[in-house]
Amino acid sequence: MVRYFEDITPEETHDLGSYTADRDELIEFAQRYDPQLIHVDPEVARETMYGGLIASGWHTAGSCMALLVEGFLSETATLGSFGLEELRWRTPVRPGDTVRAELAVVETTASESRDDRGYVTLDVRAENEQGEEVVYWRSTNIFLTRDGGDEWPTAE
């Protein structure tokens, strides 16, 4: 059943599950979207302060976004997001790391101008197996209300 704006409550949290960073995928992603040497060239990366290849922060964020969609957004009437209030890359992800993500709903705000939608502030945090935070972001997402639900094809 699809969850609408009214169904999403502040302080709700969700374990979003985990992914394991695959070396070839990290390199392939970075070659296309973030071709810095520390993300694409293991030999060069070894000589830097990082001591070896690290994932692009955008890959880490995207992989956690996939977990957010699968574990939360896909069951909601979401209309997307305005953007991020903040994003922090705290600890690099390295090949083989398993990263677990969790979601916390921070705040829900009904739209003042439209009764078919509302806004939800979400915190996504992810950590590696050592408990080190690898990425955190706060986003504002738009959700249809039950009144607005007939705009939503998956609500049928």
In this chain, which stretch among 5-13, 60-68, 104-112, 126-134 interacts with its own copies, using CB under 8 A? Answer: 60-68
Measured distance CA(65)–CA(56) in Å, rounded: 14
Which own/partner contact pairs does 52-56 have at CB distance under 8 Å and 24+ positions apart? 52/94, 53/23, 53/26, 53/27, 53/94, 53/95, 54/92, 54/93, 54/94, 55/21, 55/26, 55/29, 55/30, 55/92, 55/93, 55/94, 55/95, 56/26, 56/29, 56/30
Nearest-approach distance from CB 12 to its own copies, in angstroms: 19
Binding-residue pattern over the window 132 to 151 for its own copies, x denoting contact by CB under 8 A: -----x-------------x
Q: Could you tell me the smallest distance in angstroms from the CB atom of residue 124 to its own copies?
A: 12
User: Cβ distance 146 to 4 under 8 Å?
Assistant: yes
The 3-state DSSP class for residue 155 equals helix
**Nearest-approach distance from CB 30 to its own copies, in angstroms:** 9
Query: Which one of 13, 17, 20, 47 is in contact with its own copies (CB under 8 A)?
Result: 47
Query: Counting contacts by CB under 8 A, is residue 23 touching its own copies?
Result: no
Asked if 73 is part of the footprint of its own copies (rule: CB under 8 A), the reply reads: yes
Q: Which residues bind its own copies (CB under 8 A)?
A: 32-38, 44, 47-49, 56-58, 61-63, 65-66, 69-70, 73-74, 78-89, 92, 137, 151-154
